Amino acid sequence: MGEPDSQQRGLAGEYYVAFIMSRLGYDIAITIGRAKILDMVALAHSGKTIKIQIKSTYQGYDWLVKNKFDPSTNPIVALVRLGKDAAQKPELYFLPGAKANELITHKYKNHSPRISRAKVLKEFQDHDFGLIKRLLGD
Protein backbone atom coordinates (compact mmCIF):
# COMPACT_ATOMS: atom_id res chain seq x y z
CA MET A 1 0.00 0.00 0.00
CA GLY A 2 1.41 3.35 -0.99
CA GLU A 3 1.01 6.94 -0.02
CA PRO A 4 -2.60 8.24 -0.21
CA ASP A 5 -3.40 10.52 -3.14
CA SER A 6 -4.22 14.18 -2.44
CA GLN A 7 -7.98 13.62 -2.22
CA GLN A 8 -7.61 10.66 0.18
CA ARG A 9 -5.12 12.63 2.24
CA GLY A 10 -7.48 15.60 2.46
CA LEU A 11 -10.43 13.45 3.51
CA ALA A 12 -8.35 11.61 6.10
CA GLY A 13 -7.32 14.95 7.63
CA GLU A 14 -10.89 16.26 7.68
CA TYR A 15 -12.22 13.09 9.30
CA TYR A 16 -9.44 13.14 11.88
CA VAL A 17 -10.25 16.72 12.88
CA ALA A 18 -13.96 15.83 12.99
CA PHE A 19 -13.16 12.88 15.27
CA ILE A 20 -11.08 15.04 17.64
CA MET A 21 -13.62 17.87 17.74
CA SER A 22 -16.42 15.37 18.41
CA ARG A 23 -14.38 13.80 21.22
CA LEU A 24 -14.06 17.27 22.74
CA GLY A 25 -17.87 17.50 22.79
CA TYR A 26 -18.53 19.82 19.86
CA ASP A 27 -21.13 19.22 17.18
CA ILE A 28 -19.52 19.06 13.75
CA ALA A 29 -20.72 19.77 10.22
CA ILE A 30 -18.37 18.71 7.43
CA THR A 31 -18.83 20.31 4.03
CA ILE A 32 -18.81 18.13 0.93
CA GLY A 33 -17.34 18.93 -2.47
CA ARG A 34 -14.16 20.11 -4.10
CA ALA A 35 -14.65 23.87 -4.43
CA LYS A 36 -15.34 24.75 -0.84
CA ILE A 37 -14.48 27.81 1.15
CA LEU A 38 -14.40 25.92 4.44
CA ASP A 39 -14.16 22.30 5.48
CA MET A 40 -15.96 22.21 8.79
CA VAL A 41 -18.13 24.11 11.23
CA ALA A 42 -17.91 23.34 14.94
CA LEU A 43 -20.78 24.21 17.28
CA ALA A 44 -20.40 24.43 21.06
CA HIS A 45 -23.17 23.84 23.61
CA SER A 46 -23.08 27.61 24.22
CA GLY A 47 -24.28 28.17 20.64
CA LYS A 48 -20.97 29.65 19.46
CA THR A 49 -19.60 28.39 16.16
CA ILE A 50 -16.25 28.44 14.40
CA LYS A 51 -15.37 27.69 10.82
CA ILE A 52 -12.32 25.54 10.16
CA GLN A 53 -10.24 25.08 7.01
CA ILE A 54 -8.19 21.87 7.10
CA LYS A 55 -4.91 21.16 5.31
CA SER A 56 -3.34 17.72 5.40
CA THR A 57 0.11 16.47 4.52
CA TYR A 58 1.84 13.14 4.55
CA GLN A 59 4.88 12.35 6.71
CA GLY A 60 7.40 15.21 6.88
CA TYR A 61 6.17 17.43 4.11
CA ASP A 62 5.01 21.04 4.38
CA TRP A 63 1.30 21.81 3.97
CA LEU A 64 0.43 22.95 0.45
CA VAL A 65 -2.01 25.84 0.07
CA LYS A 66 -3.64 27.32 -3.01
CA ASN A 67 -4.47 30.77 -1.69
CA LYS A 68 -4.27 32.80 1.45
CA PHE A 69 -6.97 32.14 4.00
CA ASP A 70 -9.74 34.67 4.57
CA PRO A 71 -9.67 35.08 8.37
CA SER A 72 -13.29 36.25 8.34
CA THR A 73 -14.38 33.08 6.52
CA ASN A 74 -11.81 30.69 8.01
CA PRO A 75 -10.76 32.00 11.41
CA ILE A 76 -9.16 28.62 12.20
CA VAL A 77 -6.81 26.58 10.06
CA ALA A 78 -6.18 23.01 11.20
CA LEU A 79 -2.95 21.44 9.93
CA VAL A 80 -2.86 17.64 9.99
CA ARG A 81 0.27 15.57 9.39
CA LEU A 82 -0.59 11.96 8.64
CA GLY A 83 2.02 9.40 9.60
CA LYS A 84 3.60 6.84 7.32
CA ASP A 85 2.14 4.04 9.41
CA ALA A 86 -1.67 4.02 9.61
CA ALA A 87 -1.39 3.06 13.30
CA GLN A 88 0.62 6.22 14.03
CA LYS A 89 -1.24 9.13 15.65
CA PRO A 90 -1.45 12.13 13.27
CA GLU A 91 -0.05 15.51 14.31
CA LEU A 92 -2.65 18.28 14.61
CA TYR A 93 -2.10 22.03 14.91
CA PHE A 94 -4.79 24.72 15.20
CA LEU A 95 -3.74 28.16 13.94
CA PRO A 96 -5.62 31.44 13.61
CA GLY A 97 -6.27 32.07 9.91
CA ALA A 98 -4.29 35.33 9.94
CA LYS A 99 -1.26 33.55 11.49
CA ALA A 100 -1.50 30.76 8.90
CA ASN A 101 -1.31 33.46 6.21
CA GLU A 102 1.88 34.85 7.77
CA LEU A 103 3.48 31.41 7.58
CA ILE A 104 2.78 30.87 3.86
CA THR A 105 5.94 30.83 1.78
CA HIS A 106 6.63 30.24 -1.88
CA LYS A 107 10.12 28.76 -1.59
CA TYR A 108 9.90 26.67 -4.76
CA LYS A 109 9.01 28.68 -7.87
CA ASN A 110 7.51 25.71 -9.70
CA HIS A 111 5.42 24.48 -6.76
CA SER A 112 2.39 25.61 -4.79
CA PRO A 113 2.79 27.96 -1.87
CA ARG A 114 3.15 26.12 1.43
CA ILE A 115 3.18 26.41 5.18
CA SER A 116 6.48 25.20 6.57
CA ARG A 117 6.21 22.44 9.17
CA ALA A 118 9.44 23.70 10.77
CA LYS A 119 7.87 27.15 11.32
CA VAL A 120 4.69 25.64 12.72
CA LEU A 121 6.69 23.54 15.20
CA LYS A 122 8.43 26.68 16.50
CA GLU A 123 5.16 28.37 17.48
CA PHE A 124 2.47 25.72 17.99
CA GLN A 125 2.02 22.55 20.00
CA ASP A 126 0.65 19.28 18.66
CA HIS A 127 -2.96 18.70 19.77
CA ASP A 128 -3.19 22.02 21.64
CA PHE A 129 -6.90 22.84 21.91
CA GLY A 130 -6.50 26.18 23.70
CA LEU A 131 -7.46 28.28 20.67
CA ILE A 132 -10.57 26.20 20.02
CA LYS A 133 -11.66 26.39 23.66
CA ARG A 134 -11.07 30.17 23.79
CA LEU A 135 -13.14 30.79 20.66
CA LEU A 136 -15.98 28.47 21.57
CA GLY A 137 -16.05 29.45 25.22
CA ASP A 138 -16.36 25.94 26.57
| DSSP-based three-state secondary structure for 81 | strand
Question: Quick one: pLDDT at residue 3?
Answer: 66
Whole-prediction pTM = 0.92
Residues of the chain with pLDDT under 50: none
Q: Are 58 and 80 in contact (CB under 8 A)?
A: no
Query: What is the spatial distance between Cα 114 and Cα 33, in angstroms, rounded to a whole number?
Result: 22
Over the stretch 5-30, which tens digit does the pLDDT of each residue have? Answer: 778 888 899 999 999 999 999 999 99
pLDDT at res. 5: 75
Residue 135, number of CB atoms within 10 A of its CB: 17
Q: What is the pLDDT of residue 74?
A: 65
CATH of domain 6-136: 3.40.1350.10
Q: Which residues contact 99 (CB under 8 A, 6 or more apart)?
A: 123
Q: Domain boundaries in the chain? A: 6-136
> Which DSSP category does 49 fall into?
E
pLDDT at 4 (0 to 100): 66
Q: What is the pLDDT of residue 84?
A: 79
